[in-house]
Amino acid sequence: MDTRARLIEAREKLDSKDLAGAMAIYEDVLAKEGGGGETLATISGDLGATGHIPELIEVLAPLYEPGTHGPAAGLNLLQAFLAVGDPDSARHVMDLLAGLNLPELQGRLSGFEVAIGEMNEERVGNYAAPRTPMVRGSLEPPAAVARANAVSISKPIWFYGLEALAEEILPAKEGRLRRIAFTQLSIEGVYDDLAVAARAPEDESARLARAFPLWLAEAFYFSPLYSPIAAMTVIKEAHGASLPLLLDHDWTADNLRQLVDTTKEDLDYAITGRLTRTPGESRLDLRVWDVRKFRERKQFTAGWKAGAAGEALESLRKDVCRFMECVPGSALGGIPYAPQPPDVWLDVLASSVGLFLAGKGIFPMELLAPLGPTFAALEPRAGDSAMASLAWMTLAARARALGLDPDIGEPILCADSVVARAKGSGC
Lowest mean pLDDT across 160-164, 398-402, 404-408: 404-408
Alpha helices in 226-325 (DSSP H): 253-263, 309-323
Residue 134 has pLDDT above 60, yes or no: no
pLDDT at 242 over 50: yes
* Residue 141 pLDDT greater than 50, yes or no: no
In sign, the C-alpha dihedral spanning 321, 327, 328, 333 is negative
CA atoms of 339 and 354, how far apart (whole Å): 21
Closest C-alpha among 276, 255, 247, 270 to residue 91: 255
pLDDT at residue 228 greater than cutoff 90 = yes
Q: Are 92 and 250 in contact (CB under 8 A)?
A: yes
**CATH numbers and ranges of domains, the chain:** 3-124 (1.25.40.10), 142-424 (no CATH)
DSSP state of 131: P
Least confident piece of the model among 58-67, 179-188, 367-376 = 58-67
Are residues 352 and 391 in contact, defined by beta-carbon separation less than 8 angstroms? yes
Count of C-beta atoms within a 10 Å radius of residue 130 = 9
For residue 281, is pLDDT > 80? yes
| CA-based nearest residue to 253, from 105, 100, 96, 123 | 96
- Average pLDDT of the residues in 113-130: 50
pLDDT, greater one: 21 or 103: 21
Which range has the worst mean pLDDT, 189-193, 287-291, 347-351, 405-409? Answer: 405-409
* Model pTM score: 0.67
